[in-house]
Amino acid sequence: MVNLSVSLSGVKLDNPVIPASGTFGFGYEFMRFYDINILGSIALKGTTEEPRFGNPTPRIAECEAGLINSVGLQNPGVDNVIKIELPKLKKVYKKQVIANVSGFSVDEYARTCEKMDRQEQIGIIEVNVSCPNVHSGGMSFGTDTKFVSEVVKAVKAVTTKPVYIKLSPNVTDITEIAKACEASGADGLSLINTLLGMRINLKTRKPIIANKMGGFSGPAVFPVALRMVYQVYQAVNLPIIGIGGISSAEDVIEMMLAGATAVEIGAANLVEPFACKNIIEQLPETCQKYGIENLSDIIGGAHNG
């Protein structure tokens, strides 16, 4: 019998498979497909302080090995998430979940995270630092060590639960950002967020997405995500949630060998609603195939050679 359980900063998961934020709604929507209680946890749809309508359409552009999206953090705002969405999820999902928080100023991050921290259903707070800093010319918080440090310190000052920072891959050296997060008190890291990409319509000769560029995700980014997880595991002493193009049980094992304690499945959910379920069901047999008895034993295993 293979033991699939892992632990993220003291939060125990029955298995390492988590639907990624933005690809699984608030979770309860997927109950019509299968019993979502088989999931290790759920990363909720990205939440901001105020409601957001998001970016203009079209927001999605398909690619051969992935997709580009520019949804623009459409969400009902933190108060509505707490009042409406979390109670709906609680009726059908019995485990703690991961709150994904975005913001456009340090104070906004802190206020939203503080509200999420008070919720019993929330086990981990995942902070998306890929947002533009409106007080500093629009530069993303996650591309500057000073900005990301300010966010981490502000959030940690008002929260009691583990805080994981979701890192952007659109940087020169992701390990420098990771080190800044660790030095500022982060409890863990999630990586990677989407790469920046675009597609052009040959007939109109214009970008397909209204916002011109968007986040590129899917199987094509897996080698990049794997490389960054491997590098960050070497650079810091923090648990990592690996994200980026994971679509099979083999991908999960490979990502954990690189250094991830758990994984988030993103674009695969948009292609196949049963993606997470299928991966969880395939994990025991795949582990047996590679002689793995306890999945947690392989974390960072690729660094031991």
Q: Which residues are catalytic?
A: 131
Helix spans in the chain (H): 78-80, 86-90, 106-117, 145-156, 174-183, 222-235, 249-258, 267-271, 275-289
Neighbours of 131 (CB within 10 A): 23
Gap between the Cα atoms of 90 and 94, Å rounded: 6
Nearest to 260 by CA among 6, 3, 4: 6
CA atoms within 13 A on the CB side of 249: 18
